[in-house]
Amino acid sequence: MIRLFVPDDLSLDVALVLKPEQARYLTSVMRLGLGDEVALFNGRDGAWLATLSLITKKACQLTVERQLAVQTEGPDLDLIVALVKRGPLETIIEKAVELGCRRIRLITTRRTNAGHVNLERLQAIATEAAEQCERLDVPQVVAPQPLESLLSGWDTRQLMFCDEAGDAQPVLSALAGQGSGPWAVLIGPEGGFAPEERARLRALGQVVPVTLGPRILRADTAAISALSLWQAALGDWCDAKG
């Protein structure tokens, strides 16, 4: 069944007029007609079944009929990733959604070599990924900020720092015995972190330095690997409850 994210409140018998691009997708791309069913979610009210109740040249209306699932949340996990080129960054956004991140926070570092990002496009990629992987929420993609600014305002969240230039432990060893409360996974730029950035990160009280193995990984591969290992150790791929 086709799934759509909508910003509207969802409840029994609510009638929704879709955005033009969503209407075109349902009627022109997917060839749905009157009475066909669509699953809707908004990140607040769970998943709901709706049917196409009106189709015109200018509008497409859905009527909500029943709830399919109550709202749930995955682990409180952020991905913090240094800006990289557009293709790998878009892959990172898509896979971070599939791997259960609640937020994706972009940063700049001393060795960041990517420039402007289209935040609206990245958020659209996150929305499409959530629709396809049957999440009930859409992670927020947060606008880039300098690493130092991020660390200056750091809270009590644990930080898994992928540090490939030091003496860090393998991920599963480093995470053994850790709690599964709020976490973030930090992936650096293609050139790695500068020495002063590594020192700043290592001095943070909540940091857990880890290595992803003996090979040098591209940023997109590193992000996917790190998130998968965290999920296996502490997330919703295991029975750990914190």
Query: Which CATH number goes with the domain that contains 29?
Result: 2.40.240.20
Are 8 and 96 in a shared domain?
no
Q: Note whether residue 241 is domain-resident.
A: no
End position of a domain, from candidates 22, 48, 69? 69
End position of a domain, from candidates 69, 100, 124? 69
Q: What are phi and psi of 70, to 5 degrees?
A: -80, 160
**15: part of which helix (H) or strand (E)?**
strand 15-17
Q: Residues 45-97: pLDDT tens digits?
A: 999 999 999 998 878 999 999 999 999 988 999 999 999 999 999 999 999 99
Are 89 and 155 in a shared domain?
yes
On the CB side of 62, CA atoms within 13 Å amount to 32
Are 213 and 102 in a shared domain?
yes
Q: What is the domain range of residue 62?
A: 3-69
- pTM value is 0.92
Q: Note whether residue 239 is domain-resident.
A: no
- What's the burial of 156, exposed, middle or buried (CB within 10 Å: 0-12/13-18/19+)? exposed
Range 175-192 average pLDDT: 93
184 DSSP β-pair partners: 78, 159
pLDDT of res. 239? 61
End position of a domain, from candidates 69, 89, 119? 69
Are 87 and 13 in a shared domain?
no
